Every structure is written in structure tokens, then in C-alpha cells.
Amino acid sequence: MNFLKLDQGTITIAGQPLDEKSLDQIGFLLEERGLYLDMTIKEQVLYFASLHGFDLKIAAADLPLWMNRLSV
């Protein structure tokens, strides 16, 4: 997540060193950030995508892919 910078040692995921590609595959939801009950999941995903500067057309097009991954 890059909240803290590593000053020694190594971080691995499934035996592989952590890199930028790995970071793109990790998500984190803070405990104090809840979901908005008056918004659909799609609306919330697009809202958070906009906060992080993602292209909303791409985020909306990719959403079904992520939803399929969650239902496995």
C-alpha cells in the first residue's frame, strides 16, 4: 500500500518480491470508511475511482470483471 517505506528486510507475496504490479492487485478498506447506503456498489466504485483519478469510462467497463472475481 506504500503507507510506510521499507527500511530493511523484504516483503513477499506467494514467495515473490512485492513490486508495483503486486500493489495494483491489493485492496484495502479502512475500518472507519463505510459504504454509502444510499448508493449502489457501482456508484460507490465509480466514486472512489474518481477520487483516485481513474478514467470513469474505463472503471465502469472494468467493473463486471471485478464483480466476477468477487463471486468466485
Rounded to an integer, what is the distance from CA 6 to the centroid of its chain?
21
The pLDDT, as a whole number, for residue 23 is 78
The pLDDT, as a whole number, for residue 21 is 80
* CA–CA distances in Å: residue 64 to residues 13, 31, 32, 49: 26, 25, 26, 15
The mean per-residue pLDDT over the stretch 39-66 comes to 90
The pLDDT, as a whole number, for residue 71 is 59
Name which of 24, 26, 44 is nearest 34 in CA terms. Answer: 44
Which residues on neighbouring strands pair with residue 29, listed in sequence order? none
Rounded-to-integer distance, Cα 25 and Cα 23, Å: 5
pLDDT level of residue 58 (50, 70, 90 thresholds)? very high
Per-domain residue ranges for the chain? 12-70
* pLDDT (tens digit per residue) in 1-51: 566 677 888 888 888 888 878 777 777 766 666 678 889 888 988 998 998
